[in-house]
Amino acid sequence: MTKINIYDPRAVTLKRMKKKGSNSFTTSQDNRSLILKLIWKNSPISRKQLAEETGLKPATITIILQELLQQGIVKEHGIMDGGNGRKVKSFTMAEDFYAVVVRITGVYVKIALYNINIECLYIEKIFFESDDNIGEAIKLIKLHLKEIEKVADKEKIVCIMVGVEHIYRFIKNDYFVWDKMRGKYCHIGKVLHDETNYKVFVNRAANFSAYEAWECFYETEENKNNYATMVNIQMSYDLESVVIVNGEIMYGMNGLCGQIQDMKIERDSDKTYKDVATVPVLLHRAEELKVKYPDSYIQSVKNLNIRDVIEGYNRKDALCRQVYGECIYHLGYFIAQILNWLDLDMVNIGDEMPTTREFLCALQEEVAKYCEKEKAERVRAAVGVRESRRDPALVGGAKYTFSLLMDELEIY
């Protein structure tokens, strides 16, 4: 029998069970959540395995599975080895549940559809054409929802999960986004719900990418006890970071933990990290350096995009190497300081930067100038071909959606 991951006893469901006591309805709901999450994470899985992992009686497992099968949330997957030469039924999640995940920056909006197996079935990235970012974002989301509803049954789309960037505030336990045209913060979750009639949940896009980074760290580092501290840095049109301790994101008093972009790079300087390590700054610097590098690859590029600078870096273009070299110089020092301070298990950095081993090594070398080499090697970044469907903010948002809905919001 294939060994499955041990379910973490400190996970949310079991913590809630301890807090709420033995109320029979609450216990029943929590048992269902626990079973669902195990099936989702470890399918195909048998009744016997579910009983072993949860400690629940086989009869209880059978009752819960029958209910989930009748509701179409779980389905039979086939026969598997049950040990001692026995063949037993296995179960997996039904595939016809979907999440719409939206990422809104100050420059573009991405909208994607994922099924419960985190397979991307639809994705579009659209740059804004006006200064009315919020109004235009809502309009674009509604437009693409019509296309998404041709791909997936509207009744099976459990929610729209929105990841926000740029200017936002945590107000009344929700994220409000700055509406430039109206000069005030907009409750984008409520507006989008009223316009579409979908359940809408809003969080920081950086939190979603951090959730995905933690999932990858958990799976690849054999860190099965969930004890670790990490920081996820997202460098895009804004610069943000997220702190995760033992699998839980630190929100801070006002929901804004990890705002590094307004931190000064030096005591006696007015420059902050957003002035040296964000996409607008890198593009501006690339334009400045054209005079110094007349033979640069980007001289012939019209409407310069940050992906052009990344492509130039990968081509070993001297101008693009200088642009990202200066970025490495500033971020390397900052990362070394937080590694020294918190002794982190990992610092993950990503988004609008080269996804090559060479770039990662250059960053680690800069970090190593200010801390032990072993600590510098804890810096990680995605390496490989860049694809929008694998955007950590979108993938993390999809995973977070299904995990949250199973655990807290009860889709069943």
For 67-121, what is each residue's pLDDT tens digit? 888 877 888 888 887 777 788 888 888 777 899 999 998 889 999 999 988 999 9
Is 363 a member of any domain? yes
Predicted pLDDT of residue 225 = 62
Q: Assess whether 79 and 103 both reside in one domain.
A: no
The predicted-structure confidence for 221-256, as pLDDT tens digits, reads as follows 655 566 889 999 999 989 999 999 988 888 887 777
* Residue 201: φ, ψ to 5°: -125, 140
Q: Assess whether 125 and 199 both reside in one domain.
A: yes
Q: Assess whether 51 and 126 both reside in one domain.
A: no
Predicted pLDDT of residue 221 = 63
- CATH number for the domain spanning 356: value is 3.30.420.40
Q: Assess whether 113 and 85 both reside in one domain.
A: no
Predicted pLDDT of residue 12 = 43
Of 170, 161, 183, which Cα lies nearest the Cα of 104? 161
In this predicted structure, the answer to whether residue 7 has a pLDDT above a threshold of 80 is no
> What's the structural domain count of the chain?
3
The stretch 120-149 carries a mean pLDDT of 89
Predicted pLDDT of residue 132 = 66
Is 401 a member of any domain? yes
Poorest-pLDDT segment among 1-15, 18-32, 49-63, 112-126: 1-15
The stretch 176-201 carries a mean pLDDT of 88
Q: Assess whether 85 and 160 both reside in one domain.
A: no
Structural domain of residue 245, as residue ranges?
209-386
Q: Are 161 and 398 in contact (CB under 8 A)?
A: yes
Long-range contact set of residues 123-129: C-beta below 8 Å, sequence gap at least 24: 123/388, 123/389, 123/394, 125/388
Is 229 a member of any domain? yes
Q: Vertex 120, ends 115 and 123: CA angle to 5°? A: 125
Q: In terms of pLDDT, which residue wins out, 176 or 313?
A: 313
Q: Assess whether 270 and 232 both reside in one domain.
A: yes
Domain boundary among 65, 93, 121: 93
Q: Are strands 239-245 and 379-380 parallel, antiparallel or unpaired?
A: unpaired
The stretch 196-209 carries a mean pLDDT of 91
The predicted-structure confidence for 359-404, as pLDDT tens digits, reads as follows 999 999 999 999 999 999 999 998 887 788 889 999 999 998 888 7
| Neighbour order of strands in the sheet with 86-93 | 45-46, 86-93, 74-83
Q: Assess whether 71 and 163 both reside in one domain.
A: no
Specify burial of residue 29 (Cβ count, 10 A radius: 0-12, 13-18, 19+): middle
DSSP code for 311: H
Q: What is the pTM of this model?
A: 0.81
Percent of the chain with pLDDT over 70: 90
Predicted pLDDT of residue 175 = 85
Predicted pLDDT of residue 18 = 43
The alpha carbon dihedral of 392, 398, 399, 405 has a sign of: positive
Amino acid at the residue 112: A
Is 48 a member of any domain? yes
In this predicted structure, the answer to whether residue 341 has a pLDDT above a threshold of 70 is yes
Specify burial of residue 373 (Cβ count, 10 A radius: 0-12, 13-18, 19+): exposed
Q: Rounded CA gap, 327 and 261, in Å?
A: 13
Domain boundary among 93, 123, 153: 93
Q: Rounded CA gap, 96 and 77, in Å?
A: 15
The predicted-structure confidence for 26-60, as pLDDT tens digits, reads as follows 567 778 888 888 888 787 888 888 888 888 888 88
Q: Chain-centre distance of CA 199, in angstroms?
A: 19
